[in-house]
Structure 1
Amino acid sequence: MTVQTERAPSGPAEASEPPVKGKGRPSAPRKAGDFVPYLLLLPAVAATLVFLGWPLVNNAILSFQNLNMRQLIQRLTEWNGIDNYRDILTGPDFWRVTGRSIVFAGVNVLLIMVLGTLVGLLLARIGKKMRVTLMVALVLAWAMPVVASSTVYQWLFAQRFGVINWVLVQLGFEGMASHNWFGTQFSTFFVVTLLIVWQSIPFVALSLYAATTTIPKELYEAAALDGANAWRSFTSVTMPFLRPFLYATTFLEIIWVFKAFVQVYTINAGGPDRLTEILPVYAYIEGIGNQHYGMGSAIAMLTIVIMLLLTAYYLRIVLKQEEDQR
C-alpha cells in the first residue's frame, strides 16, 4: 500500500525566485548635483590643456621642422622629419649631457632627502620657540626667488670680492684669496649643488615634520615599555609612518632637480666650456642660443621622455616595495 504524503507548503525562502543576473534594482537617475564636482574640475582641466597641453603639442610639432632665424623671419615651414632626432641621438653630446644630468640629479636628490629628513626630525624634537624660529628661517629660504638666490650665491663665491674666499683667508687658507669657483666643472657643480640643496631642504623638512605630527604618541610609549632604544623606536614606529611621505617627496624632488634650469644657467650658463650643461640648459643653448629651434625642441621632447622613464622606474620600485611589505 502506497502512502501518499502531501508536500509541505513552500516557505517564503523557497517561494521567492532567485534574482536573475542583470535584472537587479534599477539605478537611480543622476541628480543635477552629481555633476557639480566635474564642473568644478572643468576650469583646472581647461587651464592645464591650454597652458600645458598646447605648448607641449606645439613643441612636438617644431621638433620635426628645420627652423632657424631665416625660417622664423620669413615664416617658412620646412619639415625635415626625424632628422633632428637622428642627429641628436647619433651625436656624442646628447648622451654625455644625459649621463651628467642623471648623476647630477641623483646626487642632489640624495643630499636633499637625507638632510631634509634630519632637519624634519629635528623640528619634531626641539622646543616650541626654537621650532618656530627654524621654521620661519626655512620658509624664508624656500620663498626666496630662484634668480635672486642664484645671484646671491654668485656674489658669495665671487673670485675677487666673494665672502666665501674672504672667510677662508681669515681662517688661514691664504691660497683661496682669488680662487675661481666657476673655473672648473667640479667646483661649479659644487656651488650649484649647494644652492639647489639649500633651496630644497625646507620643502622636505616641513613635509616630514607635518608627517611626524600624525604619529600617535601611544606608539612611542608602547615601544619604550618594550625596551626599545631610540634607533629601534625610529625604525619600528617613525619610519613606517614617514615612508609614504618620503616616497612622495622623493618623486617630486627628482622632477624638480632634473629640470633645474635656472640655477645652472644663472650661476655659469653651463660653463666652463659647457661642462656643466644639463639637459634643460643643453636644449636652451642649442635652441635659443644657437638659433636651432627645431633641434632645441627635439632635445626638450627627449628630456621629457627621459624624465618620464626615470619617474616610471622609481614608481615601479616604490610599488614593488609596498607589495613586499604587505
Structure 2
Amino acid sequence: MAAQTHHAAEAEDAPRTGKGGAPPAGGGRARAARGVPYLLLLPAAAVTALLLGWPVIKNLLLSLQNLNRRQLIQRVTEWNGLENYARQLGSSDFWRVVGRSVVFTAVNVALIMLLGTLVGLLLARLGKKMRLLLSVGLVLAWAMPVIAATTVFQWLFDARYGVVNYVLNGLGWHAMAGYNWIGTQLSTFFVITVLIVWQSIPFVAFNLYAATTTIPGELYEAAALDGAGTWKSFTSVTFPFLKPFFLATTFLEVIWVFKAFPQVYAINEGGPDRLTETLPIYAYIEGMGNQHFGMGATISILTILILLALMAYYLRIVLKQEEDEL
C-alpha cells in the first residue's frame, strides 16, 4: 500500500508530457496565444519605423555630406564625415541658440503647467453651465490652426493697427501707441510665449479636469474634517493624487515647445537680427535659407540628440523621485 502511495506521488510530481515525451499541446497553444498581441502590433510598428525611421536615417546621411547648391546642380555627393558636426559643436552661435532654446522651453513649460493647472481646477469647481461655456472657449482655442492663430496674434500686436497697442494707449500708456512688438528680442519672445501658452493651456486644463474626476470625494471630506483649507487640500490630496499626470504632461509639453517652429518663424522669422532663433529655426535658416543642406541636417540631428538628453535627464529625476517615495 505504501509503495502504491509512493508511486502515485511520483506520478503527480512528474512533469506532464505528451506522446513520446513531447510537451503537451496546451503549452504550445499558450505560448502562441502570448505571441498574438505582438503579431498584431507588428504591422503598426513596421509602418511607424518606416515613416519615422527613414527620414531620420536620410537626415543622418545628409549630415555627413557637404551638400550645397553646387553639389545639387552638379549632382555629386561629397562626403565629409563628421566635419559638419565639428563645425557646429565648435561654433559659439550654435551654443548660444542651444541656451536660448532651453531657456525658452523652460519658461513656456512653466507658464503652461501653472496656468493650465489653474484653469483645470477652475473647471472642476464651476457649475455645469459655466463649465460648458469655458470648455467651449478652450476647445476653440485648441482647435484653431497654428498659422491661423499666429496670424491673429500678428494683428493683435501690430504696431499701427493692433488691438493691444490701442487698449494700452487707452489705459494711459501713450508710449505704447505705436510700439513695435517684434522690434526687440524680449518683446518678440513675449509675443511668441503668449501665443504658445495660449494654445497649450486647453490640453493641460482638460487633462487635469479629467484627472480630478477620478479623485475620491472621501479624501476631500477627510481633509476638511482635519481643518484643511483650499491650499492644504490641494497639496495634501489633489497634487499627490495627480502627480503622475503632472509628470507625463510636463514631459509632453517639453517636447512640444522645444520643437515649436511655425509660431516662432511666422511671427518674425527668428528676428530681429536672428536673436529669437531656436534650434528648429536655426536648422531651417541654415539649411533652406542659406542652402547649406548638409549643415541644416546636422543641426536637426543635434537638436534630436539634445532633446533626448533633456528627456533622459527629466526621466532620471522622475524615476529617482518614485524610488524615494517607495
- Tell me, yes or no, whether TM beats 0.5: yes
- Which amino acid is 1:44 matched to? A
Amino acid at match of 2:91: G
Structure 1 unaligned runs (5+)? 1-7
2:295 and 2:229 mapped to 1: Cα distance? 58
Matches within 5 A, 1:1-326: 9=2, 16-17=9-10, 28-30=27-29, 36-326=36-326
Distance 1:51 1:163 in 2: 43
Q: Deviations over 1:205-253 (max 9, x none)?
A: 0000000000011111222223322222222211121100000000000
CA distance in 2, matches of 1:297, 1:212: 43
Report the AA paired with residue 187 of structure 1.
S
Deviation at 1:36, TM superposition (A): 4.5
Q: Distance in 1 between matches of 2:40 and 2:146?
A: 32
Question: Equivalent residue of 1:30, what SS?
Answer: helix
What is the distance in 2 between the residues matched to 1:103 and 1:59?
26
CA distance in 2, matches of 1:275, 1:240: 40
Question: In angstroms, what is the RMSD of aligned CA positions?
Answer: 2.3
Deviations 1:272-323 (A, max 9, x none): 0000000000000000000000000000000000000001100110111111
Match for 1:259: what amino acid? K
Equivalent residue, structure 2, for 1:5:
none
Cα drift, residue 20 of structure 1:
7.7
How many residues of Structure 1 are paired with residues of Structure 2 in the alignment?
A: 319
Question: Quick one: distance in 2 between partners of 1:194 and 1:228?
Answer: 35
The residue type paired with residue 275 of structure 2 is: L
Shift of 1:47: 2.2
Say if 1:12 and 1:247 are closer, same or farther in 2 by CA, change over 3 A.
Answer: farther
TM-score by length of 2: 0.92
State the partner residue of 2:20.
Answer: none
Return closer, same or farther for 1:129/1:10 CA change in 2, 3 Å cut-off.
Answer: farther
Q: Supply the distance in 2 between the matched residues of 1:190 and 1:20 (Cα, whole angstroms).
A: 75
Superposed displacement of residue 76, structure 1: 1.1
Whole-angstrom distance in 1 between the partners of 2:291 and 2:181 = 30
1:29 counterpart letter in structure 2: G
Task: Decide whether aligned partners of structure 1 residues 11 and 169 sit closer, same or farther in structure 2, where only a CA change above 3 A counts.
Answer: farther
Mapped to 2, the partners of 1:223 and 1:174 lie a distance apart of 50
SS in structure 1 at match of 2:197: helix
Q: Which AA in structure 1 matches 2:290?
A: N
Partner Cα distance (1:36, 1:180) in 2:
61
Moved more, 236-245 or 216-225: 216-225
TM-score by length of 1: 0.92
Where do 5+ consecutive residues of structure 2 fail to align? Answer: 18-22
Deviation at 1:39, TM superposition (A): 4.0
Give how far 1:34 is off. 5.2
1:318 to 1:20, Cα distance in 2 relative to 1, 3 A: farther
User: Partners of 1:159 and 1:13 in 2: how far apart?
Assistant: 97
Q: Report the Cα distance in structure 1 between the residues aligned to 2:313 and 2:220, rounded to whole angstroms.
A: 35
Q: Secondary structure at the match of 2:40?
A: helix
Give 2:211's aligned amino acid: A
SS in 2 for 1:80: coil
Distance 1:208 1:252 in 2: 14
Q: Distance in 2 between matches of 1:20 and 1:86?
A: 65
Aligned-residue offset at 1:38: 3.1
